[in-house]
Structure 1
Amino acid sequence: MNSAPGNPSDFFLDDNTMMNFDFSRATLVISILAAAALSACGGGGGGDSSAPTTPVALTLAVAPAIAPANGTTGADYVPAVQFTASKALAAAGIKLVCDGAAVAGKTTVSDAVATFKADAPGVAANAQCTASVDAAATKDAAGAVFTGSTALTSFTVKALACPGGTTNTPPSFNGATLVAACGNVYIEPAVAKNLWPGIVSGIQTALEMDRKVYGQLQSAQPDVLVCQSGTCADYFAGPRRRNVTLYPNTYAGQYVAPRMTVVLTSPTWTQNPYVLAHEFSHVEVAKRTNGTHVPAWFDEGLATYVGGEPICTNVTGKGIDDLRKLDQETDWVAYTGPEDVFFKTYCQARAEVAAWIGKRGNAGVVQLLDAVRQGQSFTGQYGAMLTQ
């Protein structure tokens, strides 16, 4: 039906027209919903079509702060190697090879920094070392392993700091010749070279301990012989295998010392610096008295005071009723054979000398030894016993 403009019927639709309108409106709504769904899924060209982010590789940092620097000489005997990675580490590994052998140690991490510390006693003096990243053991928090160059650094370990002394022909035992480590320090061939720095360092420590009491040392550096095997100890120190000072042309085992000689019967004992300080004290006393006799109890008590060895912290009671009975060194050695008597007697002598030094000071020791060298009576200079 056609209606003229303005006719009220213009505001009404017939049923067919209304159905067409409803259908068109529904189609529009569906289209809008479909477009929204496509947009949410990234389709239709209107979403984020960028590729997934590629993880950043774990490598050395741009400035990896590697230590020791490549070409370093004089690295420590117990070397530490360090590098910085390109991002934070969850774990790391560093391989250290010195003189062709892998060095045992532990690698720790702190953020992006990895540090390897060799196990004690470390490596040999003058060792040639190369360090690299252990890629398989080096990971970030996401588990990504290290990639790229693993080479870190090459360096040389410092030489032995020889304490002095004149090198002579190394002594031998049963066909084996001791090795001249440096100066007049001679070491059994079986002793691993990575133990040598600790032995030489112990000698330096011992000399400093002696200087604290005597001041400038007057004695020449004695030969130091270091044994590891029982056969070596038997030959140089005797069947008791006690650390010993040998005076020229004397012996404890089969070896007759041509010069002042100190024998160590273990290369690894932690007390070795104190043992050496004890033995070096005997050498200094002999020099300052020009070989004039002083009582064995005084010589041993002073050496124990200087070196702090044997350790007297938990030793109680006396080893003998009167120290003055042990005037000769042979008497002392024979009497202190049993272990319980050994510690009590050494510590008893130390207590007496310590009490005397408490009154006279270290200067008193020097004056006493000088007076004995000049022929004055030890007893007259020492005076009364203080702890008997």
Structure 2
Amino acid sequence: MIRHRRRWIAGAVTAVLLAAAPVVTAIAYPSVAATTCPGCYGLERLRPGLYAEPGLSRAQRRHVTEVIGQADRRVRDFFGGRKGSPDILVCLSEDCYARIGGGRERGVAVLNRSVMLSPRGVDPVIVSHELTHVELHARLDGTDVPQWFDEGLAVLVSDDPRYLAPAGDRCLADSGRPLPATLGDWLRAASADPGLYAEAACRVSRWAEANGGKRALRTLVERLPAGHSFPGIPAPATPSATTRSPSS
């Protein structure tokens, strides 16, 4: 009798926890919940995989789809296609972005499966940066790479003028210091020094130029899931460490 009652109580507790899980997730991690169910947060589907806040004008809807299309082409051109198919959530007001769990960033890749964009992130550079994160991890299939490589590659694919020179040697910063390898370390360091993006892009772009360009990076990404080790990409070698301010 006591054992049977314990089983009933355990089953009841489990049922309550399972029922409460979506509510807890929505409260504690609204960005995860929003990317799982955009409609639950009032977002409207513009086309499969693309959601935006309601009430947009025809011109705004057209602008959003055009920006996403431009970013998609940048990523496809670099990788030779797309393996990832993330949902993209677009907000054109700060209230909308806060409601789905956004912060001060322009955009963010959520769990490497979805992308959320703030009003300041509806731009081909920002969108392609975040799509590159998703595409890279779709191709890595669980293989880890240093976070600075992840970020440097995203800057390179998005052709971000804030962190890349327009032509030639594209480096804007080459201090030679060690760069954060984990996501947590990167977020802490980059929030204090956005120049890290320029240094990461410098390291990735110079390695690419020395090893065959875009094709070398694609080959590297293809080989890593097969068990190849991540190459020792050295810090840029210069007569003296210099830093140039990223373009605005």
* TM-score above 0.5, yes or no: yes
Q: Deviations over 1:101-124 (max 9, x none)?
A: xxxxxxxxxxxxxxxxxxxxxxxx
Q: The residue matched to 1:224 in structure 2 has which SS?
A: strand
Among residues 162, 165, 170, which one is paired with 2:38 in the alignment? 170
Distance across 1 between alignment mates of 2:164 and 2:181: 25
Helix, strand or coil for the counterpart of 1:238? Answer: coil
Q: Residue 189 of structure 2 is aligned with which of 325, 332, 335?
A: 335
1:328 alignment partner AA: T
Change beyond 3 A, Cα 1:371–1:382: farther
Matched, 1:321 2:177: yes
Output the CA distance in 2 between the equivalents of 1:387 and 1:262: 35
1:384 and 2:234 correspond: yes
Offset, 1:179: 0.7
Q: Which has the larger radius of gyration?
A: 1
Q: How far did residue 312 of structure 1 move?
A: 2.4
How far is the alpha carbon of 1:169 from its aligned partner?
Answer: 5.2
The residue number in structure 2 matching 1:305 is 156
Residues 1:370 and 2:222 aligned together: yes
Q: CA deviation at 1:306?
A: 0.5
C-alpha RMSD of matched pairs (Å): 2.5
Q: Would the alpha carbon gap of residues 303 and 374 (structure 1) be closer, same or farther in structure 2, given more than 3 Å must change?
A: same
| Residue 210 of structure 1, aligned match among 47, 67, 75 | 75
The correspondence for 2:115, drawn from 262, 276, 280, is 262
Count of paired positions: 197
Name the CA distance, whole Å, in 1 between partners of 2:154 and 2:164. Answer: 16
Among candidates 104, 113, 116, match of residue 240 of structure 1: 104
Matches within 5 A, 1:153-232: 170-173=38-41, 177-219=42-84, 221-232=85-96
SS of residue in 2 equivalent to 1:186: strand
Is 1:277 aligned to residue 128 of structure 2?
Answer: yes
CA offsets 1:177-214 (integer angstroms, 9 cap, x no match)? 10111111110114333211111111111121112221
Q: For 2:75, what is the secondary structure of its paired residue?
A: helix
Secondary structure at 1:241 match in 2: coil
Q: Deviations over 1:211-231 (max 9, x none)?
A: 222112222x21110112323
Identify the structure with the greater helix proportion: 2
Question: Aligned AA for 2:152?
Answer: G
Aligned residue type for 2:236: L
Query: Equivalences for 1:12-51 in 2 at 5 Å?
Result: none
Contact 2:102 2:116 in 1 (8 A): no
Where does residue 6 of structure 1 map in the other structure? none
Identity %: 27
The 8 Å contact of residues 51 and 89 in structure 2, kept in 1 or not, is answered as yes
Distance 1:286 1:198 in 2: 28
Map Cα deviations across residues 300-358 of structure 1 (whole Å, 9 max, x no partner). Answer: 000000002262257955688222xx1111211121113xx11x111111111111111
Which structure has more relative contact order (CA 8 Å, sep 6+)? It is 2
Distance 2:237 2:57 in 1: 45
Match of 1:30 in 2: none
The C-alpha deviation readout for 1:269-297, integer Å capped at 9, x for no partner, is 6x711111111111111011102111110
Unmatched runs of 5 consecutive residues or more in structure 2: 1-35, 166-170, 239-248
Contact preservation (8 Å) 2:172, 2:202: no
1:55-90 deviations in whole A, cap 9, x for unaligned?
Answer: xxxxxxxxxxxxxxxxxxxxxxxxxxxxxxxxxxxx
SS of the equivalent of 1:172 reads helix
Q: CA deviation at 1:359?
A: 1.6
For structure 1, which segment, 353-362 or 297-306, has the greater mean C-alpha deviation from structure 2 after superposition? Answer: 353-362
* Distance change >3 Å, CA 185–CA 282, structure 1 → 2: same
Distance 1:364 1:172 in 2: 42
Q: Which runs of 5+ in 1 are unaligned?
A: 1-167, 249-259
Give the 3 Å change call, closer, same or farther, for CA 345–387 of structure 1 in structure 2: farther
Distance in 2 of aligned mates of 1:246 and 1:310: 24
Pair 263,310 (structure 1): closer, same or farther in 2 beyond 3 Å: farther
Aligned amino acid, residue 90 of structure 2: V
> Which residue, out of 129, 137, 141, partners 1:286?
137
